[in-house]
Every structure is written in C-alpha cells, then in structure tokens.
Structure 1
Amino acid sequence: MTLPSAAQQALDAFAACPGWEQRARLLMQWGERLQPLTEAERSDSNRVHGCESQVWLVGEKHDDRWRFRAASDARLIRGLLAVLLARVDGLSHAELAALDLADWFAQLGLARQLSPSRSNGLNAVLQRMRELASG
C-alpha cells in the first residue's frame, strides 16, 4: 500500500532527525500545523475519551475517503496527532481498519517515546476514527 503524501513527508522528515531531541522539536512543529478546530467543534460529542489530555476529533467523508482534523490542549499530543492525521489522510474505511498504529510510530522512530498512556490515547483516537468511518 502506498502512503498518503503527507505520511511520506513525515517519514522523510523524521528519518532525517539524528536523535530524540530533534524528533521532539519536529513533533512540536508538526503540531503547530494542525488546522484549528472551532469552539463548536471542541464539543463533548467530538471529544475522544480514553486520552489523558483533552483531544477532539472531527471526521469528514469525501468520495469514500476520510479526512480528519484534531486538536489537543497538550503540545506533544498535538504533534503526535499531526503525524497520525498525516498517516490516515484520505484513507478508506477498510484501510483505516487495517492500520497498524504501533508500526507507524515505530517507522517514525517515535515508538520508544510513547508512554503507555499516550499509546492508549492514540489508540483511542484511531478507534474513534474507525467508529466515525463505519458509521
């Protein structure tokens, strides 16, 4: 399966980082690129439960392909959301269902830095994406 272009960009950018500090800085920069959600979109119905930080997720379907936007109150989480969104951008429901989140973060060189709670939170976000896509 070919990667969405944003995911390939993420892979290239993170692969070029020699160490964790550079990756952490890059993660923060990616987080700044998230499209902001409106106050209305930051509603309880869009809130992802299972995350320690507050995370909101909005999904829209265009021709059987999904586009998601997300926001968080935590900087590091925004960065992690940004690289997750890059990976899922334009996927179909079946592709979303088959996505291996741990593998994606391992490819980016970020797996070791994912604490169990962050990992659980990102899995909750992916689960919510799958629910939206199947609904």
Structure 2
Amino acid sequence: MSIAEKESELLDELGLFQDWQERYEYVIGLGKRLSAMDDSLKTEDRKIQGCQSQVWLDASFEDGKMRYVADSDSLITKGMIALFIRVLDNETPGDILQSDMSFIEKTGLKEHLAPTRANALNLMATQMKQRALSFA
C-alpha cells in the first residue's frame, strides 16, 4: 500500500466519527497500540525538541525501508506520532521525502489542539523526514 493509500485509509477511518472528541479518542487508541519503545532508546538525541510533551523517535533502515518506533509521556501526543508511523513506517526514504504530509491537515485534529501541540505535529513530520533523509 502506498503512502497516499495509507493516508486515504486513515482519513476514511477518522471520517466515521461524528465529532472531534471521538476522533481524539480514536487517535489516543492508536497511540496505545504502538509497539513498545525500549527505554534504552529514550535518549536526548532521539527526543523531538520543541514539543510540549516528551516525544522520542527512533528510525532504522531495514531491507530498503524505514522503520520507526516512538513513544511519548502524553497519550494524545503518542497518538499523533502513531498517525505518522502508520503512514510512513515500512516505506522507502525516497517515498517519505516526497510525501507532502498534508493528510494531517485533512484530519481536522489540528484545529482543536493548543498551538503548542499543533506545532508538535509539524515537528514530528519534519523529524521523520529528516531521519529518512539520513538513510536516502
């Protein structure tokens, strides 16, 4: 499945919910289902700087594809990084670098976030692309 197809699938799922609170509950659930990140990976160099909450992101390159693992001390932030992981994990660095990440605007979640949390979405997307660039 391509990045665009994953984005479309995610937007379709979020579209099933009637209001933004239900969407947030769904996003929090995605975060709770993220694969566990080993505590040894929760280091300063893996921390996404500028986020209100603590967010750690690790990336590796396996069989030509990016693999991401992340964690946060905030359930909503963990859910937000889970959105990106769902779309970008197991994709090539080139495809990740070409993705425009506009799907996050289409979720409608950003407009109900505090400005600092909305900015965190941009920081997460940027960090994931930077990690992909390091393997491109």
1:38 maps to 38
Structure 1 residues 81-119: Cα deviation after superposition (integer angstroms, max 9, x where no partner)? 111111112222222223323x21233232322433223
1:1-135 matched pairs, under 5 angstroms = 2-3=2-3, 7-101=7-101, 103-135=102-134
How does the TM-score come out when normalised to structure 2?
Answer: 0.84
How does the TM-score come out when normalised to structure 1?
Answer: 0.85
Aligned residues of 2:65 and 2:90 also touching (Cα < 8 A): yes
SS in 1 for 2:39: coil
Share of identical aligned residues, percent? 25
The runs of at least 4 aligned residues of structure 1 exceeding 3 Å deviation read: 1-9
Structure 1 residues 69-89: Cα deviation after superposition (integer angstroms, max 9, x where no partner)? 110001110111111111112
Which amino acid is the alignment partner of residue 125 of structure 1?
A: M
- Structure 1, unpaired ranges of 5+: none
- RMSD between superposed Cα atoms in Å: 2.1
- Structure 2, unpaired ranges of 5+: none
